[in-house]
Amino acid sequence: MNEPNIHAVHRDWDREFPIIEHAEGIYLFDKSGRKYIDGSGGSSVVTTIGHGVKEIAQVMYEQAQKFSFYPAHAFTNEKFLELSDLVVSLAPGDLKEKSRVWITCTGTDATDDAVRLARQYWVESGKPSKYQIISRWQAFHGNTISVAGFSGITGRRSIFQPMFIDSPHIPPAFCYRCPFEQTYPHCNLLCARALETAIRQQGPDNIAAFIAEPVVGAAIGCYPAPPGYFQTIREICNRYNILFISDEVMTGWARTGKMWGIDHWEVTPDIIATAKGMTAGYTPLSAIIAHDHIWATLEKNHSPFKAGHTLNANPVSCAGAIAVINYILEYDLVENSRQRGEQALIGLGAMMEKHSIIGDIRGKGLMFGFELVKDQATKQPFESKKHVSRMFEIAASKRGLVTYPCTGSIEGVLGDMVLLAPPLVISESQINDVLNIIDDSLGDIEKQLGK
């Protein structure tokens, strides 16, 4: 038990937070000597390359020794230039070598700046009526008031609701609990075509962009859109002159078994927002990547991008990001993510017969999860007061596995899910360790629930 600290405010009042002392590879070690597998990849889906890689700390130290900060209104720094070249060389589809990069601090800054850029682009293009952002229910794009407004996590929005600007949400692409009560592929992708309905209702002249996560993270526990979804979205955006923003804050940098989440649909977004895995948690940094023609519109008007934070493009963070990205490439973590992700889904699939409380398994690469239900056949959820995903988190943590509990698969309120996103360096035998702990923990909570 830690000495209670009354000055530091944590994320929850009702739990104890053990103090982490060091971390290495996929493991975290707390002050009492307990070892945990970082099964959620930080909070969450961050630690692409694993913990404690000395060369990342070394390059950041070397940069900090030269300089850590400078007057960015008057100078630039080499690490920012180098990082931008590297990112553009790895960008998906038509953005590869035809985009430019804006570096900021957090995932929320990236999604906020992505919609700012969309808005500014339309104003600079002589279409100032285009301002609305269409997004989806059961999506998470970050935590400022503006971003929470176009996010779709009911529990995190409700008390701030009066402070949001009007922006339409369409239903998620969520086949397990299809909002249209249809079955893929007979549904004819009603969930994607709902974008067209929203655009026509609001008027395309009022819409700046549509934003979506290729694989939804915290809001519906690692749920990928079905095949064809983003192709249809892209086609609708083109038809109505709407920018498409891919929120790759979780799904970027090899997490889903491809470099970018959107690569699974072979579609090019106009703007990408990315963060987390780009520095693997070694330092805060995020980015937006946007097509050349978008930036060129601002440039032609001699109009600087109206965004920016004091610590943007911090040279120490840029040095860390370059080293992390090179590590991802050098150790081919895209392929390891793909292979180990497949192994995890096969292992979880095999558990469904034994554990009837697994309603669904889902994910891509090393971003995977499952939904916990009272009844596999009817998909009936547990009562929210039982806090079943939290119950699972406690059972797994006792056995040395950190997981990320999620709720709200049903209209953002009911429905328990578990998100897993271990470091992409995880080995075959370590995935088996994760699966064994999941198996035991499910048995434990089944007993507690009288199943």
- Binding residues (CB under 6 A) for ligand PLP: these are 106-108, 111, 140-143, 213, 217-218, 247, 249-250, 275
Nearer to ligand PLP, 276 or 374 (CB): 276
Nearest in space to 274 (alpha carbons), one of 261, 258, 263: 261
- Closest distance between ligand PLP and the C-beta of residue 101, in Å? 17
Helix (H, G, I), strand (E, B) or coil at 104: strand
Minimal CB distance to ligand PLP: which residue? 107
Distance in angstroms (rounded) separating the CA atoms of residues 276 and 266:
22
Nearer to ligand PLP, 140 or 229 (CB): 140
- Closest distance between ligand PLP and the C-beta of residue 349, in Å? 25
Distance in angstroms (rounded) separating the CA atoms of residues 296 and 219:
35
Nearer to ligand PLP, 217 or 363 (CB): 217
Nearer to ligand PLP, 142 or 341 (CB): 142
SS3 for 139-170, per residue? CCCCCCHHHHHHCCCHHHHHHHHHHCCCCCEE
Number of Cβ within 10 Å of residue 317's Cβ equals 26
Tokens of 217: 């993270």
- Closest distance between ligand PLP and the C-beta of residue 124, in Å? 25
Helix, strand, coil shares of the chain, percent, nearest 5, are 40, 20, 40
* Residue corresponding to tokens 């395309």: 204
- Closest distance between ligand PLP and the C-beta of residue 245, in Å? 11
- Closest distance between ligand PLP and the C-beta of residue 262, in Å? 13
Nearer to ligand PLP, 229 or 382 (CB): 229
Distance in angstroms (rounded) separating the CA atoms of residues 440 and 243:
46
Nearer to ligand PLP, 199 or 275 (CB): 275
- Closest distance between ligand PLP and the C-beta of residue 235, in Å? 23
Contact indicator for 250, 216 with CB cutoff of 8 Å: no
Nearer to ligand PLP, 191 or 357 (CB): 191
- Closest distance between ligand PLP and the C-beta of residue 216, in Å? 8
For the chain, what is the radius of gyration of the CA atoms?
A: 22
